[in-house]
Amino acid sequence: MRWLTLSLIALIALLQYPLWIGKGGWLRVWDVGHQLEQQREANQKLQIRNSGLDAEVRDLKQGFEAIEERARFELGMIKQSEVFVQIPDRMQAANEHPAETDSSSAAPSSAPMPPAAARAR
């Protein structure tokens, strides 16, 4: 009787192996389901991006306003009758030229002077 019990337990274990660990087992099904969910999320993000690009293409085909906007902001183009004025940011200008913004603490420059300025000294 003992051999019969052990052989039945071994038979059940051998039958359960493909169910849990085999090629079409539960672990593989769970893994594929997880991969499927990740791919669906990636597809949804790409669909949103594609719909935005589709709207932009339709806008570029239909109107000149979108083309003009791209030319102004991406290429820096202006119309012939316009004047371009650029106002620098104060923080950016202070970082680029610190000696010019604070003249009270500026040290004398060691840069070579032009010949006329050197004779005046």
Of the pLDDT bands very low, low, confident and very high (cuts 50, 70, 90), residue 100 is low
Residue identified by tokens 């420059």 is: 109
Which tens digits make up the pLDDT trace of 39-95?
Answer: 999 999 999 999 999 998 888 788 788 788 888 888 888 888 888 787 888 877 677
Of the pLDDT bands very low, low, confident and very high (cuts 50, 70, 90), residue 121 is very low
SS3 33: helix
Provide the token pair at 17: 């192996």
Q: How far apart are CA 25 and CA 32, in angstroms?
A: 11
Provide the token pair at 58: 């339709």
Q: How far apart are CA 47 and CA 58, in angstroms?
A: 16
* Per-residue confidence (pLDDT) for residue 63, from 0 to 100: 78
* Per-residue confidence (pLDDT) for residue 37, from 0 to 100: 97
Q: How far apart are CA 43 and CA 63, in angstroms?
A: 30
